[in-house]
Structure 1
Amino acid sequence: MSTPATDQHDPVADAQWAAATRSAIAENDAALAARFDDNGDIDRLLAARAQKVDAVVREAWSHCLPQDAVLSLFAVGGYGRGELFPQSDIDLLVLGEADAQAGHADALARFFTLLWDAGLPVGHAVRSAAECTRAAHEDITVLTALLEARVLAADLDAASQLAAAVSPQLIWPPRDYYAAKREEQRARHARFGDTADNLEPNLKEGPGGLRDVQTFRWMALRIIGTWDPDSLMAIGQLGADEFATLERERRALSRLRFGLHLVAGKREERLRFDYQKLLAARLGHVDNADNLAVEQMMQGFYRSAALMLRIGDRLLQRFEEQLEGEATPEAIDDLFELRRGYLAARDAAWPHDAGHVFALFALWAAREDARGLHSRTARALAEALPLIPAYNEASASLRQRFMRLLRGPQAVETLKRMARLGVLGRWIPAFASVSGRMQFDLFHVFTVDQHTLAVLKNLAAFASGEPDERFALAHQVWPRLRKPEVLLLAGLFHDIAKGRGGDHSELGAVDAREFCEAHGLSEGDTALVEWLVRQHLLMSMTAQKQDIADPEVIHRFATRVADRERLDNLYLLTCADIAGTSPKLWNAWKDRLMADLYTATRLALRRGLENPVAVGERSAETRNGARATLTAFGSSDAEVDALFARMPQIGFERGRPDQIAWQAASLRELAVGEGCVRARPVSGSEGALEVFVHSPDRDGLFAAIVATLDRLGLAIQQARVLDGPHGMVFDSFQVMPADPRQTPSAEEVERRLAHALAGSLDDIRPTRRAQPRHLRHFRIAAHIGFDRVAGGSAERTMLSLVCTDRPGLLADVAQALRQHRLRVHDARIATFGERAEDVFQITDRRDQPLDETQQQALRETLLACLDGEKQ
């Protein structure tokens, strides 16, 4: 029960009111949460919460302000729209002249305090009409909040006064407002990489999120004077179908945001991994064999955001036309014209069939001067999507028109446009199935369709003829392709079967063959596309998990590739695929791996698979190459022979000539038995280093090196540990900075590592670090395997470890190996998002492979180490 305001107030009564109100709000919120869980209408839930808060705010106002106070109260911002999410701010404006503000300053302070004590996160401003004008003029966000002001305690005169204070005749005329809000939107989108397809998208601020819908509303209010759908449809600014789509997707996004606030229990707009599974379960999604519940929920979000962006492009263009006016059309042909630089259909009834649609994309590809697609034509295209058949139901002539698009100018840009506008998903239904599909892991940072488009974009960059330092050979290989469209088809289909269960490479290969046969490709071209899709992971897995310096590995890989055309296409597809999976995944080390594997395989194919490279021949080639480098810098043959005699023979079999020359040069000033540490930058990747450790062998050396590199913030990509003459080791490491912002120099690495190894190795232990937040939500059951493999003239044990990645993992594994007094001869470290897949070649202290008892003991130690991290 409210009581009339007086000049005196009772703090105890205020506290009792605030406590009772807080309890009532909590009870109301709990009831709304129950309605939400019962699939209640989201707009009614938002309105109901706003109405409850309205009642509380009005009661506090009447409780604190006298009835004759010449002050008015408005809800502004989202609260002014009557949309109030569980953790949203309560934005208020008190309107009144300066003397009224001063005369009731204590009452206003009491009013705001009461609301805060009642648990409402109030944001407030106290201004006169003139102050509103000034503040809105200086800050467009103030104007935007005031555009949706709603009366809580005010008369019509006050409402009119506020509207006049921010009228377009006074400040921010429509043209200026549109330009400012458009730039604001561009900057906001840029903060999120200009894509909605982020692993942890922002439901409110991100591209295609709720802020975009609100921006369209604000623009309409300022430019046209209304957001009423009937009025907008009457003047052609909005189609009924577009409004229905906007409303449907707005409600879907609002439901996600409402649920996110509930599961987070705080104001959270980012759909973080911490909440994704909880929210998916709360929304009623259930895991199935092909699709996790969280993946189903996220696919719904990505599709909603994509539709928001698609319709938003049209609305922005129409607002622009409203401000600029229609220009005289410029005819292109019988079907199309340019309107203000945008491609437009001349016939109001366009399109009559799918052929007209393909003709539009062909013209668009040919007209590089076109700004884009005219909004009304884009809407007509959206309405005509049902006219586009699936390719297997289309006529032969229509299929050939599609192939002409693929062989024509800007083929990749055309595919991107067709995907964004929904055409590609109609033509290839399997592509529609993966549109917006995410995988709940940290390796795939884009949805399947966006990843596919990123791969195609990379292929287009290879075709541009402009060298990119990130890729050593791609721009040299591309001109050798016989039919580039074959590779584009492989890129389009390589992941198209994800989410169906089974091996997506095998299923996608079947899809690719059916598509190629339907489009009239020759058997040779069809077989190549099919093989590329089926084997698209072969090159990356070989390079990252096997020793490509081993001639036997090269021979096996070359045997599977079989010919030069396959190799060229597979190399380009692999580079494009890895670089298109995550912006951080491609680096100089992977570039060199792929380039080395490509070059070695090309030579193997040239020699003929019946003539594999012998170990002795490979060793001789490496020696000669290293010798040429050393003699070019002044070393005599005798000096080179002496240096080579101090190095392990297997190094010449597995190393590169430049690497052998660098290591040999490091020995020049050293006496036999004296060690050193050297590091050098790897070109093409900032912070990447190659580290060489030459040291007397002793127990725990590998573990000490790994722990020290880990302390330096360096992630090991590959390690090779070789035993040389005189009890010396030749250990080499390829490392990358774990944090690009902290990259130690080669000199610092040399100094720190040499200092660490000069002391007792027993004092060097792995650094304990907290697991990053995002890794806590991805648990991979550890798998530890043992196999016996050849290691030069002796046998070794190959330890395979698959588990959840975390900081310091390799250092802990190395420590476990040290604990069992095992020797490491080779290590290949591969990380795929949250998944670590590491391979080690190890022996016991006598250089013998591990027996079953030793394997079991090591397995138990490693599992205990990994399980301990979960605690």
Structure 2
Amino acid sequence: MGVGAGPQAAEGAPGGDAAWAARAREELARTDAGLARRYGPDADIDRLLALRARAVDRILRQAWARCIPEGAPLALFAVGGYGRGELFPRSDIDVLVLAEADAQRAHEADLARFFALLWDAGLPVGHAVRSAQECTTAAAGDQTILTALLESRPLVADSGAQAALSDAIATTRVWPAPEFFRAKREELRARHLRHGDTSDNLEPHIKDGPGGLRDLHTLGWMAQRAFGVRDLQAVVALGHVGQDEAATLARERRTLARLRFGLHLVASRAEERLRFDYQKALAQRLGLADDAHSLAVEKMMQGFYRAAAVVRRISDRLLQRFEETFEGEAVPEPLEGDFVLLRGYLAASGPYWPEGDLRQVLALFSTWAAHPRIRGLHSRTARALAETLPHLPSYERTGPAARGRFMALLRGPQPVETLTRMARLGVLGQYLPAFAQVSGRMQFDLFHAYTVDQHTLMVLRNIAGFAEGPDERFAIAHEVWPRLRKPELLLLAGLFHDIAKGRGGDHSELGAVDARRFCAAHGLSEADTGLVAWLVEQHLRMSVTAQKQDISDPEVVRAFARLVGDRERLDYLYLLTCADIAGTSPNLWNAWKDRLLADLYLSTRRVLREGLEVPVDVDARVAEAREATRALMRGRGYDDATIDRQFAEMPEESFLRFRPEQLAWQAASLVEVFHGQTQVAVRPIGGSASGGALEVFVHSPDRDGLFAAIVATLDRHGYGVHQARVLMGPHGTVFDTFEVLPADTFASRDPAQLEAALRQALSGALDQVRAPRRVAPRQLRHFRFPPRIEFSTTGDGRRSLLSLVCPDRPGLLSDVAQALRACRLRVHDARIATFGERAEDVFQITDENDRPLDEAAQEALRAALRERLDPDSQTPPSGAPR
């Protein structure tokens, strides 16, 4: 195995190494600069990868010649990704030196000089020095080492060294093909789970995420171990991979590789996640541009999501075929119709299935839904489905029989699981082309955590969950669900609610048109069609009403009830709204939103029951609230005299604004409180699924800066305010109520701890209570826009309404409160709504004399807010801690 240096070995005087390394570094920099210039939407990505690998090969061989004596029994191999000849701009360079133990000892200094020289040349080399036996031992103990060695490529190695390495990792020595397959399959599953088992993340991992490059590498390793071939194309001749499948995977590999190459360029490091920090720059490098329907970055990301989906789809089929290779053909187990089970997988029994017949395809999903024990779709049938997919008609081009079968799927068992399967296999997008248009479509914001198609499927899963019984995340959904006349209508509304995203115009209105056309084509009655179309058109209305308006105001509820019109629409809209919000982001649904929507639902149901024409009787509502609160307090052991005394100390308006159980809690917390004292009470909202939501009640003599001090204290302890209500009580007291959620990891989630912190803060000078200045999270920095500040007046003319839309960030509400305090203004009500990176807050405010703001006061507040909130301001606002 004597494969040492060439003629340049004599030039290897240590004194010349620094100069050589500098020249090598410059050469590599020129190569990388040239490759970066060539990179673009039309570049041959395989050529770029090969050229960089070739440039590094040249440098390594030169360094080897300088450091390793000619004839030394050492061999140099490229391994891992470098061994494949795919070298990305910032990827590690992994090499193996193959040498027996005595040769390793004899040339230890030479090898040390070789590796040091490579590092001096700017090459991030990862190396291993092993004998053939050590390769066998290492590979046997760690199959990831085996995969790196499987990719080996000789750099300085004769045929004897190559044969020795090949023999060291032969299947007769380590990891027979079946064991290797099972280990790699489990590794793939575990890796997918680490990434949430979806590629549809806002910042997906190109290399290791589901459908990423590592999935393709895994298939290649399996093929090499099982069949002794270097790539999937070679497996086509063996009959395990179709020519179309191999060609499709090769195309998507180039798509993913182009993204990864460009990502390394714009990040200037070995970044593998498509972070917000780099998405816009990468889209620009790829020649994409914004248009009326999509941002450039959204087009780029849609290309990634679609490529990853295709890789996953074909990968599932190939994994199953590899399994059959090792375990043999299965004995068919007959099912109804033209289907059988093969080792738990559903397969069509006929050789020519489905013969382009959409009804047979829909029958497949019907059979699948009827047998929960089915492991999945057999690879042979999955490939047949993929081949016929482009020829299947859409619902508009098919007949009543196929449409009837589709509706039967929605009314049958596991309808949401069926729609999910149809979506993953491409059938849903073929049947409903509008769904294909939003497949993989992302929205460049922090509000929508999923692509439109994945969000839609999440909404449908939430709807399915309502049918399974009580879920503590949703207070009353399990009570509303049984009232639905036709649950499939809610599924249709969920399917269509976002289907018009990205077309321009109002997606709710456009989606309603699509839904009406679809329902009419499927034979739904005019009443059912109208309900689905109305739900799609109004699917945001309940959320907006609950989060942005004062739903304790009877007129707000009556206006919403007039929109809804009847109890049936209310039931459907409530469930669709809950499912939609909870399916937008894992962190978006919380106990506060649950209570808001439940309160709006119950209030609206009451108005509909009483009749829209019945005027609001404020006195009757107050009296009813008092009696309900009295009953609750009696149940807690309080006598009427105590209850009457507490009621006399509470604002009359509170009996309109709060629910009886809130009023009873507040009244009970004040029983032992005397005039002039401050009282703080904190309690959890909801159960264990509440996300740590707390309700905070503060009763105190009114003082300037009280609201700002409370908000600053909450912020300092890691809580974000979602709703605040400030009512004036008798004797110059205030009744402040806040609904808060942990906004930082350091929030204790302990009501008693927060209660003590607020008591301490409010016992001293309020002007000394300041919120900390914190750096905005990395993602928020990419969604900055100027704040929008608008003023109006409440319906009764008594207060001003401040509407604020601005980028969200830690401490935002505290800064707003400080601006209000600096302008000597009073806050009476606040509704804090956050939609990803956008904060959309509404405040009811007055001047210090409880009058609406005049024009001068509005301008002064506008200036104070801009000073603190303008994203282009680089200095802390005046008076803020530095």
Alignment of 1:404 with 2:408, yes or no, is yes
Alignment of 1:687 with 2:692, yes or no, is yes
- Cα shift at 1:230: 5.0
Aligned to 2:717: 712
Structure 1 residues 231 and 275, CA, compared in 2 at 3 Å: closer, same or farther?
A: closer
Alignment of 1:199 with 2:230, yes or no, is no
8 Å CA contact 1:253, 1:301 repeated in 2: yes
- Cα shift at 1:870: 4.3
For each residue in 1:832-865, what CA deviation from the matched residue of structure 2 results, as whole angstroms up to 9, or x when unmatched?
Answer: 0000000000000110001111111111211221
8 Å CA contact 1:604, 1:613 repeated in 2: no
Aligned to 1:772: 777
Aligned to 1:339: 342
Partners of 1:369 and 1:651 lie apart in 2 by 55
Residue type of the alignment partner of 1:16: A
8 Å CA contact 1:783, 1:801 repeated in 2: yes
Residue type of the alignment partner of 2:363: A
8 Å CA contact 1:554, 1:601 repeated in 2: yes
Structure 1 residues 231 and 23, CA, compared in 2 at 3 Å: closer, same or farther?
A: closer
8 Å CA contact 2:722, 2:831 repeated in 1: yes
- Cα shift at 1:98: 0.6
1:288-307 aligned at under 5 Å gives the runs 288-307=291-310
Structure 1 residues 357 and 475, CA, compared in 2 at 3 Å: closer, same or farther?
A: same
Partners of 1:115 and 1:849 lie apart in 2 by 73
Residue type of the alignment partner of 1:327: A
Which range moves more in the overlay, 34-43 or 117-126? 34-43
Which range moves more in the overlay, 647-656 or 622-631? 622-631
Structure 1 residues 168 and 2, CA, compared in 2 at 3 Å: closer, same or farther?
A: closer
Alignment of 1:488 with 2:506, yes or no, is no
Query: Structure 2, unaligned stretches of length 5 or more?
Result: 875-882
- Cα shift at 1:229: 4.2
- Cα shift at 1:67: 1.1
Residue 741 of structure 2 aligns to a residue whose secondary structure is strand
For each residue in 1:496-527, what CA deviation from the matched residue of structure 2 results, as whole angstroms up to 9, or x when unmatched?
Answer: 00001111001100110011111111000000
Residue type of the alignment partner of 2:772: T
Which range moves more in the overlay, 219-228 or 375-384? 219-228
Partners of 2:551 and 2:524 lie apart in 1 by 35
Aligned to 2:189: 186
Alignment of 1:806 with 2:813, yes or no, is no
Aligned residues: 867
- Cα shift at 1:154: 0.8
1:669-684 aligned at under 5 Å gives the runs 669-684=672-687
For each residue in 1:98-148, what CA deviation from the matched residue of structure 2 results, as whole angstroms up to 9, or x when unmatched?
Answer: 110000000000000111111110000000011111111111111110011
Alignment of 1:724 with 2:724, yes or no, is no
Which range moves more in the overlay, 406-415 or 490-499? 406-415
Structure 1 residues 350 and 227, CA, compared in 2 at 3 Å: closer, same or farther?
A: farther
- Cα shift at 1:365: 1.1
Alignment of 1:600 with 2:603, yes or no, is yes
Partners of 2:216 and 2:773 lie apart in 1 by 46
Residue type of the alignment partner of 1:426: Q
- The counterpart of 1:208, out of the listed 203, 206, 211, is 211
Partners of 1:12 and 1:738 lie apart in 2 by 59
Q: TM-score, normalised by structure 2?
A: 0.97
Alignment of 1:380 with 2:380, yes or no, is no
Aligned to 2:368: 364
1:316-331 aligned at under 5 Å gives the runs 316-331=319-334
Alignment of 1:32 with 2:6, yes or no, is no
- Cα shift at 1:12: 3.2
- Cα shift at 1:742: 3.3
1:68-467 aligned at under 5 Å gives the runs 68-229=71-232, 231-333=234-336, 335-352=338-355, 353-464=357-468, 466-467=469-470
Structure 1 residues 16 and 95, CA, compared in 2 at 3 Å: closer, same or farther?
A: same
For each residue in 1:571-607, what CA deviation from the matched residue of structure 2 results, as whole angstroms up to 9, or x when unmatched?
Answer: 1100100000001001111111111111111111111
Partners of 2:591 and 2:437 lie apart in 1 by 34
- The counterpart of 1:762, out of the listed 753, 756, 767, is 767
Partners of 1:153 and 1:842 lie apart in 2 by 78
Aligned to 2:552: 549
Query: Structure 1, unaligned stretches of length 5 or more?
Result: none
Partners of 1:190 and 1:356 lie apart in 2 by 33
- Cα shift at 1:613: 3.9
Partners of 1:781 and 1:140 lie apart in 2 by 53
- Cα shift at 1:94: 0.3
Aligned to 2:878: none
Residue type of the alignment partner of 1:648: P
Structure 1 residues 33 and 868, CA, compared in 2 at 3 Å: closer, same or farther?
A: closer
Residue 799 of structure 2 aligns to a residue whose secondary structure is strand
Residue type of the alignment partner of 2:275: R
8 Å CA contact 2:403, 2:522 repeated in 1: yes
Partners of 2:819 and 2:745 lie apart in 1 by 28
Residue type of the alignment partner of 2:843: F
- Cα shift at 1:68: 1.5
Which range moves more in the overlay, 764-773 or 282-291? 764-773
Residue 453 of structure 1 aligns to a residue whose secondary structure is helix
Aligned to 1:743: 748
Partners of 1:61 and 1:386 lie apart in 2 by 54
Aligned to 2:843: 840
For each residue in 1:180-199, what CA deviation from the matched residue of structure 2 results, as whole angstroms up to 9, or x when unmatched?
Answer: 11111111111111000000
Residue type of the alignment partner of 1:713: G
Residue type of the alignment partner of 1:168: T
Q: TM-score, normalised by structure 1?
A: 0.98
For each residue in 1:267-321, what CA deviation from the matched residue of structure 2 results, as whole angstroms up to 9, or x when unmatched?
Answer: 1000000000000000000000110000000000000000000000001100110
Q: Matched residues, percent identical? A: 65
CA RMSD of superposed structures (Å):
1.4
Structure 1 residues 142 and 786, CA, compared in 2 at 3 Å: closer, same or farther?
A: same
8 Å CA contact 2:93, 2:123 repeated in 1: yes
Residue 5 of structure 1 aligns to a residue whose secondary structure is helix
Residue 37 of structure 1 aligns to a residue whose secondary structure is coil
Aligned to 2:16: 13
Partners of 1:191 and 1:14 lie apart in 2 by 44
- Cα shift at 1:642: 0.7
For each residue in 1:420-440, what CA deviation from the matched residue of structure 2 results, as whole angstroms up to 9, or x when unmatched?
Answer: 111111111110000000000
8 Å CA contact 2:786, 2:871 repeated in 1: no
- Cα shift at 1:400: 1.4
Partners of 2:348 and 2:41 lie apart in 1 by 46
- Cα shift at 1:740: 4.8
8 Å CA contact 1:712, 1:744 repeated in 2: no
Partners of 1:16 and 1:280 lie apart in 2 by 39
Partners of 2:570 and 2:104 lie apart in 1 by 78
Residue 4 of structure 1 aligns to a residue whose secondary structure is helix
Aligned to 1:697: 702
Partners of 1:266 and 1:868 lie apart in 2 by 28
Alignment of 1:668 with 2:668, yes or no, is no
- Cα shift at 1:257: 0.2
Partners of 1:164 and 1:475 lie apart in 2 by 63
Partners of 1:375 and 1:477 lie apart in 2 by 41
Residue type of the alignment partner of 2:752: E
- The counterpart of 1:571, out of the listed 570, 574, 599, is 574
- Cα shift at 1:3: 5.2
Partners of 2:465 and 2:203 lie apart in 1 by 28
Partners of 2:419 and 2:749 lie apart in 1 by 43
Residue type of the alignment partner of 2:375: R
Residue type of the alignment partner of 1:853: A
- Cα shift at 1:790: 3.9
Alignment of 1:797 with 2:803, yes or no, is no
Which range moves more in the overlay, 668-677 or 730-739? 668-677
Partners of 1:649 and 1:228 lie apart in 2 by 78
